[in-house]
Homo-oligomer: A and B are copies of this chain.
């Protein structure tokens, strides 16, 4: 034993993100093994591949600070990444955002067709709930709580509502106000980020409040950063078209707060997110770094 390993919690965030993301991907590959050879199943594999894996990291890190091993939490991480992937596949459809590029690659409906994208998304949502029933995660009570919260976060009082508000905004006569766009994003991206961060506390049957506060500030900061990237980003790095929202005349945090105002608001939210973690002390170092990362990323 020539080397001493650093304790796990000191591993820097970027390494942890990569490690957790690889674990999530491996889990998804394992549970999707042996699927039929129809294009829909190939598209499911394609859709979950790549991506930063931030939501899956939040699940595993939130679990870790409660003493729960990734071997348990990875199924919940895989579930939220499957659900997130489904939402991107449907969101990219011509009838929705009509995006041809995602994570630097052709979107599912471009690589296959609309029907394949619709069905692959549908199957990925079902897979997400199936993953939460895996016995490794914990007691039936715990798994059921995860199912209930994810179903709420994903549905017409969560993510889908956010998408619906987004679509409604496109045909509205007046651009959204700051409070409207905040509500929209709290649903569209916030609900799933909240679930991801809370999952560890649910698994440990502990107080979810600190992680919820962290996640709500983080989710909003994440979206503001997305809007900034839409203006300032490098297409080669973000893997999606730049100035898409601005060109479409959509209200964004940048259009409402100005570029400097948006950056300041994102920084304030990161500080707020980190403050919510005080109760966990040093154990939350990675989650704090994750918050910093969210507003400093270039993709």
Contacts and interface: CB of A to CB of B under 8 A. Distances in A.
B130 A118 contact: no
A65 interface: no
B36 A156 contact: yes
Contact of A36 (B40, B115, B127, B161): B161
A121 B155 CA distance: 10
A118 B95 contact: yes
Q: Which of A130, A156, A157 has the most CB of B within 10 A?
A: A156
A154 B126 CA distance: 6
A interface majority secondary structure: helix
Interface string A16-47: 00000000000000001001101111001000
A235 interface: no
Contacts of A39: 164, 168
Contact of A115 (B96, B121, B155): B96
B164 A151 contact: no
A265 to B, nearest CB: 26
A145 B270 CA distance: 40
Interface stretch (A136-144, A197-205, A284-292): A136-144
A198 to B, nearest CB: 16
Contacts of A168: 38-39
Contact of A163 (B119, B129, B152, B158): B119
A133 interface: yes
Contact of A164 (B41, B127, B130, B161): B41
Contact of A118 (B93, B141, B157): B93
30 contacts: A35-B156, A35-B157, A39-B168, A40-B156, A40-B161, A40-B164, A40-B167, A41-B164, A90-B118, A90-B119, A93-B114, A93-B115, A93-B118, A116-B164, A119-B163, A119-B164, A122-B122, A122-B125, A122-B154, A123-B161, A125-B126, A126-B158, A127-B151, A127-B156, A129-B129, A130-B152, A132-B147, A133-B147, A133-B151, A140-B144
